Amino acid sequence: MKDTIIYFFTDSVAFKVLIGITIISATSGIVGTFSFLRKKTLVGDAIAHSLFPGICLGFIFSGTKDPFYLMLGSLITGWLSVWLIDVLTAKSKLSSDTSIAFVSTFFFAIGAVLLSFISGSSNGNQSGLKDFLFGKAATMTNDDINVFVFLSLIIFLVVILFFKYFQLISFNKEFAKSIGIKVNLIEFLLSTITVLTVAIGIQSVGVVLTSALLIAPAATARYWTNNLPKMLFYSALIGVSSGVLGVFISSTKENMPTGPWIVFILFFFILLTLLFSSNKGWFSMVRKQRINRQKMAEENVLKVFYQLAELGVKNVTYSEFLNKRQMDTKELTNTIVSLIKKGFINNDFQLYKLSEKGEVEAARIVRFHRLWELYLTKRLNFKEDHIHGTAETIEHLITPEIEKELLKELKFPTADPHNKNIPY
Amino acid sequence: MELNDFLTLLTAITIAVSCSLLGCFLVLRKTVMVGDAISHSVLPGIAIAYLLSSSFNSVFMLIGAAVFGVFTTLLIDFFHKKLKLQEDASIGITFTWLFAIGVIIITLFTNSNTDLDQDCVLFGELSSTFLDKIIIGDYLMGTRSFWMIFPVFLIILVFILFGYKGLSIISFNEDYAKSLGINVGFINLIFMSLVSVTTVMSFESVGAILVVGLLVIPPATAYLITDKLKRMLIISCFLAITSCIIGFYLSILIDVTASSMIIVVSGCLFLLTFGYINIKKTLIF
C-alpha cells in the first residue's frame, strides 16, 4: 500500500492520471447534482452518446486529434442533442424517455458511421478516437490535463456566479419563471456546463459509464443532506473519493480498466447509503414503520378496552375483546404484553383491565377519534356513516396542538355524532 | 441480388422486425430507457457465458441474457420502489454498474486472443455475418446469425399473437389490467427477458447500443403516425424493413458499417415524419 502511494507521487504519469480523474469526478459530482435535482440525469447519457459524432466531425474538419477541435465538435453535437430532446418532448406525444433514447442512439449511430468512414479513408491518425468511447484514463497527456483544468475552472466559475439561479430552477422552475428569471437562458447555461462536463468525463470512463459519474454521487449526496451547498460538496467529495479509489485499484494489475472500477465503487457508495442512511435509508424506514405499526396497534387495543368499559365490561377476556374488534390473536398477545410492561393494562390470569394510567391514555385516543368524527360532520358536512374510517386513521396522528385547535373550533363539545360521550 | 447480400439483409430484417415489435410496447409503456438499460446490462451475462463455454454459440448465452435482463428489471424496481430513489437515477445507476462489471470481467479473464472485446459488443459487424454459413449436405441453410435470431423472432411473434389482448390492455392502462387480474409484473418480466434475449442474439450483428436504436426508432415513428396498436405494430415493422434495405445499400455505396447506417436511415425517417406532422399542424391551425 505504501509502495503504491509513493509510486503515485513519484511517477509523473500516474500522478497525472490521479489529478485528471480528481478534476473530472469533482466537476461531474457538482454538475450532476443539478441534473439529478431536475430529474434529467438520463439526458447526461444521451449527451455522452451524442458527443461521439461531434468528435468525429472535429477530427474530419481539422484533420488532427487536437483536443480543442474535438471538444468544439462535441460541444456542438452535445448542444444539438439537448435541444432535440426538448423539441421532441415538447412538440410530439412521445414521452421524454423515448425522446432521450431516440436522440442517443441516432447520434451514436451517426458517430459510428463517421468513424467507419474515417477508418475507411485510410487516415492513419484516427486511432485515438476510440479512446473517447471507452475512456483512456491510463494514457492522459499533459495537453488533456490542461484542457480539463481550463474547462472545469470555467464550469466552477459558472456554477458560483449563477448559483442562485441554478438553485431556483432545480427546485421550482415555475416559481423562477414567475419572478421574471430568464429560465431558457439559465437552462441553456446548465445544459452547456453539462455538455462540457460529459465531454471531459467520457475521456476517463467512456461513453456508457459517464452518466454514472453524473448520477451516482449526486444521488448519494441527496440522502445525506437537504441543503444544496452541502449536497454539492458531498457529491464532489464522493465523486473524488471513488475516482481516486478506482485509480488505485486499477493500478494494481496491468490492463485493468479505470472507469469501470470507479463506477463499481460509486455503486457501493450509493447502495450502502440507500440501505443504511440514518434518516431516509431502507433499514431506518423499516424500523420506523415497525414502531409506527406497534404504536397504532397499542392505541387500538386501548381504545377497545375503553369502549368495553363504557358498556360495563371492566375485566376483559380475549374472546370478549375479539368479539368487539377483529384482530390477529398473536398480534393481540404481543400488544397486550407490551401494554402490561408499560403499565397501561393490569392482568389477573385471563382477565385484563385498564390501569389508571391506561384509562387516561385510552380516553385520550377515544377523545381524538370522537372529536374528529364531530369535526367531519359539523365542519365538512360528512354523513354520519362515512366518518368512522377516516377517524380510525387520524386518531393516531393528532398532536396536542391540533387537539387544542379542534376543541376551540368545536367549542369543547361533550357528545360525538353518535351521541357518545367525549371523555376529557 | 447477390446471395451474400440477401443473407445479410435477411439477418438484419429479422433482427429489426423482432426489435420493433418489442419496441412498440416499450414506447407505449414509457419504459424505453429500461430497454436501453437492459441492452447494456447483458454485457456481464455475455461475458460470463463466454467464459463458461468459450463461444458465442450456446445455450449459456441465452440463459445469461435472460437472467441479467430480469435481474436488471428487478434491480431498477428495487431502487425505485423499495429504496425510493427517483426513477431516472435508478435506471442510470443500475445499467452503468452492470456494464462496468461486464467490462471488468472481460479485461480480467480474457486475453487479447479472444474474440470478445468491447468493440464487438458495442458495434457488431453486420456485413461479416454472411461469412458464417450453415451448410447441411449440399444445401445452404442460411447464416448462423440468422438462425440465432430467427427462433427469438418466432417466440416474440407467438408471444404477441397469443398475448395480444393482455399486452394491449397493459400498454394503455396498467391499473385497469391489474384490476382484471392480469399478472402485470410477471408479463413485464417475460417481456424484459425477451428484450434481453433479442439484444444478446443480435449484438454480434448490430451491437448493444445500436439494438436500442432498432427498439426505439421505428416504433416511435409509428407512434407519431397512429394511435392504434395493430397499425403501430405493422407500420413499425414496415419502417424497420425499409430502413434495413435503404441503410444496407447506402452503406455499401459509401463504404461504412451497415448496422449504424440502418439506424441513421431510420432516424432520418423519424425526423422526416416528425417534421411533416408538425408542418401539417401549423398549416392547419
Instruction: Determine the pLDDT at residue B258.
Output: 85
Domain end, chosen from A245, A280, A315, is at: A280
Burial class (CB in 10 A: 0-12, 13-18, 19+), A44: buried
Query: A351 forms bridges with which residues in the sheet?
Result: A348
Confidence of residue B285 (pLDDT cuts 50, 70, 90): low
Residues of B with CB below 8 A from A202's CB? none
Do the beta carbons of residue B24 and residue B236 sit within 8 Å? yes
- Residue B114: CB atoms within 10 Å: 12
Closest CA relative to residue A421, chosen from A355, A367, A383 = A367
Nearest residue, CB atoms, A211 vs list B96, B255, B256: B96
Q: From CA B139, how far away is CA A198, in angstroms rounded? A: 52
Instruction: Determine the pLDDT at residue A5.
Output: 65
Instruction: Determine the pLDDT at residue A337.
Output: 86
3-class SS at A41? helix
In the DSSP assignment, the letter for residue A415 is: B
Q: Quick one: average pLDDT of A123-141?
A: 61
Report CB contact under 8 Å: A263, B270. no
Cα–Cα distances in Å, from A308 out to A41, A241, A353, B107?
Answer: 57, 62, 10, 72
Report CB contact under 8 Å: A92, B35. no
Q: Which parts of chain B fold into alpha helices (H)?
A: 3-28, 32-53, 59-77, 87-109, 118-122, 144-162, 164-172, 174-179, 184-206, 208-225, 229-254, 258-284
Whether B95 has a pLDDT exceeding 70, the answer reads: yes
Q: Which parts of A38-66 fold into alpha helices (H)?
A: 41-62
Instruction: Determine the pLDDT at residue A247.
Output: 87
A200 & A289 share domain: no
A302 & A257 share domain: no
Residues of B with CB below 8 A from A135's CB? none
Report CB contact under 8 Å: A49, B209. yes
A311 & A171 share domain: no
Cα torsion A86, A202, A69, B264: sign: negative
A86 & A175 share domain: yes
User: What is the residue-wise DSSP string for A367-405?
Assistant: HHHHHHHHHHHHHS---GGGSHHHHHHHTTT--HHHHHH
- Interface check for B111 against chain A (CB to CB < 8 A): the answer is no
Q: Which chain A residue is nearest to residue B278, measuring alpha carbons?
A: A91
Do the beta carbons of residue A44 and residue A32 sit within 8 Å? yes
- Interface check for A272 against chain B (CB to CB < 8 A): the answer is no
Q: Which chain B residue is nearest to residue A285, measuring alpha carbons?
A: B83
Convert the pLDDT of each residue in B155-204 to its tens digit.
999 999 988 888 888 888 888 888 888 888 888 888 888 888 888 887 77
Do the beta carbons of residue A186 and residue A199 sit within 8 Å? no
3-class SS at A352? strand
Residues of A with CB below 8 A from B118's CB? 133-134
Contacts 24+ apart (CB under 8 A), A221-230: A221/A29, A221/A33, A222/A36, A222/A37, A223/A273, A223/A274, A223/A277, A223/A280, A223/A281, A224/A273, A224/A277, A228/A33, A228/A167, A228/A170
Report CB contact under 8 Å: A134, B118. yes
Do the beta carbons of residue A201 and residue A48 sit within 8 Å? yes
A258 & A293 share domain: no
- Interface check for B284 against chain A (CB to CB < 8 A): the answer is no
Report CB contact under 8 Å: A264, B108. no
For residues A340-353, one letter each, b for 16 or more C-beta atoms within 10 angstroms of the residue's C-beta and e for the rest, the string is eeeebbbeeeeebb
Nearest residue, CB atoms, B217 vs list A102, A256, A282: A102
Cα–Cα distances in Å, from B264 out to A53, A64, A165, A362, B257?
Answer: 12, 25, 38, 71, 11
Report CB contact under 8 Å: B217, A134. no
Q: Where are the beta strands (DSSP E) in A311-383?
A: 345-348, 351-354
A316 & A190 share domain: no
A247 & A309 share domain: no
Closest CA relative to residue A332, chosen from A346, A347, A314, A318 = A318
The structural domain count of chain A equals 2
Report CB contact under 8 Å: A45, B92. yes
Report CB contact under 8 Å: B224, A93. yes
Closest-CA distance of chain A to residue B54, Å: 21
Do the beta carbons of residue A267 and residue B101 sit within 8 Å? no
Q: Give the mutation candidate from B223, B260, B279 for the A interface (greatest A CB count, under 10 A).
A: B260
Cα–Cα distances in Å, from A292 out to A28, A199, A299, A395?
Answer: 39, 48, 11, 13
Specify which of A366-380, B138-152, B224-238 reaches the highest per-range mean pLDDT: B224-238
Pairing of β A351-354 and β A345-348: antiparallel
Name the residue range of residue A349's domain. 281-424
A115 & A245 share domain: yes
* End-to-end CA gap in chain A: 70
Q: From CA A46, how far away is CA A191, in angstroms rounded? A: 12
What's A163's domain CATH number?
Answer: 1.10.3470.10
A268 & A391 share domain: no
Q: Give the mutation candidate from A43, A91, A102 for the B interface (greatest B CB count, under 10 A).
A: A102
Query: All 3 cell numbers of residue B222?
Result: 409509428
All domains in chain B, ordered by first residue: 3-122+138-209 (1.10.3470.10)
For chains A and B, what is the number of CB pairs under 8 angstroms? Answer: 178
What's A360's domain CATH number?
Answer: 1.10.10.10
Domain end, chosen from A244, A261, A280, is at: A280
Convert the pLDDT of each residue in B106-165 to its tens digit.
878 766 545 555 555 666 667 667 777 777 777 777 777 788 888 889 999 999 998 888
Closest-CA distance of chain B to residue A210, Å: 8
Whether A121 has a pLDDT exceeding 60, the answer reads: no
Instruction: Determine the pLDDT at residue A386.
Output: 79
Domain end, chosen from A280, A297, A322, is at: A280
Nearest residue, CB atoms, A98 vs list B27, B107, B261: B27
Query: B133 forms bridges with which residues in the sheet?
Result: B143
Residues of A with CB below 8 A from B96's CB? 208-209, 211-212, 215-216, 263, 267
